[in-house]
Amino acid sequence: MPAHDVLIIGAGLAGQRAALAAAQSGASVAIMSKVHPVRSHSVAAAGGINAAISVDDDWHSHAYDTVKGSDFLGDQDAIEVMCSEAPAEVMHLEHIGVTFHRNDKGEMDLRAFGGASMKRTAYVADITGQAMLHVLYEQLMRHHETVERYEEWFTTSLLTDDDGRCAGVIARDVRTGRMEAFQAKNVILACGGAGQAYKPTTNGLIVTGDGIAMAYRAGAPLMDMEMVQYHPTCLVETGILITEGARGEGAHLLNAAGERFMEKSAPNKMELASRDVVSRAEQIEINEGRGVGPDGSGIYLDVTVVPRKRTLEALREIVNLGRDFAGVDITREPITIRPGQHYIMGGVKTDVDGRTPIEGLYAAGEVACVSVHGGNRLGANSLLDTLIFGRRSGEHAAARAAGIGMPRVDAAAQLKQDIARIDSIIARPHDGRRVSEIKNELGELMNRHAAVFRDEAGLQTAREAIGRLKEEAEHAWIDDHGTVFNQDVLGAIELGYMIDCAETTVIGAIERKESRGAQFRTDYPERNDEEWLKHIDVTLGADGPQVSYSPVTITQWQPEERKY
């Protein structure tokens, strides 16, 4: 059985950063991913990464913007850690090769982003995530002797020892279908969010909440799952993302009357208010009949106000996206967009070193909830989150590994159980529903009832429907009976992961009877600090999901009214 000090699940930015940090600390490290690392969804992050690197900037300002963006639900100690360590982290990325764009002095250039009080976002055109992910993978190739890579291995469950400590994972080699147990002193979950529980979503097909669900099933609490970010600018048909960088470069949002409607809800920041604010403003225009497009379900994003040369150089990717996926030359005409599911602020509850309440289990990146994003994440803070808490998790796990022996665990039983589970999925008779049907229904359900605007009736409908879908998923059948690249059977397992994520999201949304950040309850339209300035934790108990609360850490910024 392979054994490692630190085993990382997921090879996006958080996972790769964790692996490199743990290896540098001297631990024996392996990184496992169900896809090749450069396919990880971090690759799609476009706009940039926030850090107070300008001489006129101060990390306290970055931290305050983040706290305010979070609608005061973010834990301020964690936000302080992230923002104060940001400049050094970004410089580190620059030193290992990220091709950050420069100003005429040769220093890193910075662009404006939503919710930020000054230009603070370093970028590589509008492929910042891709550039960073590929550079980290370069480093993994460079350090292949110290970081073992299990590429295209799908994790089916976490192993825990008799004392409840995490002791490794069971995984399936996607290429051959072989199942194996992996022993580890520490497991770091870094496998992203759960966007595919929504339809449409900006997230890739691989973003199915694997880590969140595995941790939940192993007994770890999930925090603030109701906080689901809708990005203001997504293509209407496919949900493909148009970067916030477009608005950062000066693009306008217009309704059917050609008005810059952001004047009403954010007279100062206009299009560069926080994402929750902009998405809500757009949805109001659409709901009140001022939308554009054939069924009035869209809003114009007008990039033509940005100089064309600048657009071609700094927003090249969305020029391509507009041309290839909507048939629009964004340098010449406005493009129709609308809010779309993009990111989950909630996730596996961790501390600032990535530790979950389960010993030996860490989480970093979108899978985790530290919480630095609270009720709403600022654009360009997610790349930062992945790197800072990926690194800190890797370092902490490596240090922990140095002090303990390899945990003893009888993996054989669980290995057998996971093999049997897969065999039983393959053997299911074709009398229920297809996996794809259930997945579609789930996505549409979530997008209807757990979206920008929510209410009790809709959420209760969703909860009931999820219960039914969960039943149906137990019998959902597949076509592929093979072992080599049996993506079909993995899809059935992923469906179970997504349903767990959807269920906890809806539970949190029902529980939180106020409007804060991304959660807007039409039946409770005000923020209510007295009762709800707290985190909602959902834990899987013997009788199903259990709700509890934990306090928000406030260090220097008292809650105040949020205006942009």
Partner 1 sequence: MAETHLPPEKFTVRLRRYDPESGDAPYWDEHTIELAPHRSVLEAVLQARDRFDGSIGIRCSCRQAICGSCGVRVNGEPALACHTHLDAAKRSARDGVIEIEPMGNMPVLKDLIVDMDDVHWKKIRRVTPWLLAKQPVPEREYLVPAESMVDVTQTMACIQCGACVSDCLAMEVDPLFIGPAALAKAYRFVGDPRDDQQFERLNDLAQDPHGMFDCTHCFKCVDACPKDVNPMGQIMRLRRIATSDHHIVDQNNGERHEAAFTSLIRDNGLLWEAELLPRSYGGNSWFGKFHPAAGKELLSSLPAIVKALVRRKVTPAGALKPHRIPKADLRSVQAIFEKVESRDRRYELNLYIAGEDEEPPPPEVPVAAGIVAPIADEPAAPQAASTPTPDEGGPGDGGTPTSPEGSASQ
Q: Is 499 left (phi over 0), alpha (psi -120 to 50) or beta?
A: alpha
Question: Smallest distance from the beta carbon of 293 to partner 1, in angstroms?
Answer: 7
Helix (H, G, I), strand (E, B) or coil at 16: helix
From candidates 107, 263, 288, 410, binder to partner 1 by CB under 8 A: 107
Listed ranges 16-24, 67-75, 264-272, 431-439: which one lies at the site for partner 1 (CB under 8 A): 431-439
Q: Of 11, 14, 35, 383, which one interacts with partner 1 (CB under 8 A)?
A: 35
Among residues 17, 247, 275, 392, the one annotated as catalytic is 275
* Rounded least distance, CB 271 to partner 1, Å: 21
Burial of residue 12 (CB within 10 Å: 0-12, 13-18, 19+) is buried
Q: Which of 24, 54, 146, 483 forms a contact with partner 1 (CB under 8 A)? A: 483
Residues touching partner 1: how many (CB under 8 A)? 82
**Which one of the spans 25-33, 386-394, 433-441, 494-502 is the region binding partner 1 (CB under 8 A)?**
433-441
The distance of closest approach from Cβ of residue 498 to partner 1 in the complex, given in angstroms and rounded to an integer, is 15
Residue in 20, 30, 53, 223 binding partner 1, rule: CB under 8 A: 53
- Choose the binding region for partner 1 from 3-11, 16-24, 38-46, 112-120 (rule: CB under 8 A): 38-46
Which of 226/472 has CB closer to partner 1?
472
Preceding peptide of 87 cis, ω within 30°:
no
Plot region of 258 (φ>0 → left; ψ -120 to 50 → alpha; else → beta):
left
> Radius of gyration (Cα) for the chain, nearest Å?
22
Task: List, in sequence order, the alpha helices (H) in 168-315.
Answer: 210-217, 245-248, 262-265, 275-287, 308-314
> Which of 100, 230, 389, 497 is in the footprint of partner 1 by CB under 8 A?
100
The span of 3-11, 41-49, 213-221, 542-550 binding partner 1 (CB under 8 A) equals: 41-49
Task: Please tell me whether residue 186 adopts helix, strand or coil conformation.
Answer: strand
CB 185 within 8 Å of CB 360: yes
φ, ψ (nearest 5 deg) of residue 119 = -65, 120
Name, in order, each residue with C-beta under 8 angstroms of 427's C-beta and a sequence gap of 6 or more.
none
Span from 75-83, 312-320, 456-464, 532-540 in contact with partner 1 (CB under 8 A): 312-320
CA angle, residues 535, 41, 196, in degrees to nearest 5: 65
Check binding of 94 to partner 1 (CB under 8 A). Answer: yes
- Please state, in angstroms and rounded to a whole number, the distance separating the CA atoms of residues 121 and 490: 37
- Size of the chain in residues: 564
Query: Rounded distance, CA 426 to CA 424, Å?
Result: 5
One-letter identity of residue 200:
P
Task: Confirm if 346 and 226 have CB atoms less than 8 A apart.
Answer: yes
Query: What is the distance between the alpha carbons of residues 158 and 450, in angstroms, rounded to a whole number?
Result: 29
Residues 249-268 within binding reach of partner 1 (CB under 8 A): none
Return all residues near 64 (Cβ < 8 A) that are at least 6 apart: 117, 557
Q: Is 39 in the site for partner 1 (CB under 8 A)?
A: yes
Please state the closest distance from residue 97 (CB atom) to partner 1, in A. Answer: 4
Residue 97 and residue 100: Cα distance in Å, rounded?
9
Instruction: Check binding of 109 to partner 1 (CB under 8 A).
Output: yes
Cβ proximity of 396 and 354 under 8 Å:
yes
Check binding of 148 to partner 1 (CB under 8 A): no
Subset of residues 359 to 388 that bind partner 1, contact rule: CB under 8 A: none
Binding piece for partner 1, criterion CB under 8 A, among 220-228, 259-267, 322-330, 542-550: 322-330
Active site residue 562: no
Minimal distance, residue 94 CB to partner 1, in Å: 5
Residues from 160 through 219 that contact partner 1 (CB under 8 A): 175, 204-207
Nearer to partner 1, 54 or 539 (CB): 54
With binding defined as CB under 8 A, does residue 455 bind partner 1?
A: no
Our finding on whether 429 is near partner 1 (CB under 8 A) is no
- Which one, of 438, 424, 421, 425, lies nearest residue 502 by Cα? 438
With binding defined as CB under 8 A, does residue 430 bind partner 1? no
Based on the shown chain and the rule CB under 8 A, indicate whether residue 321 belongs to the binding site for partner 1: yes
Among 14, 187, 197, 326, binds partner 1 (CB under 8 A): 326
Please select the residue that binds partner 1; options are 333, 423, 444, 471, rule is CB under 8 A.
Answer: 333
Under rule CB under 8 A, residue 514 binds partner 1: no
Q: Return the active site residues.
A: 275
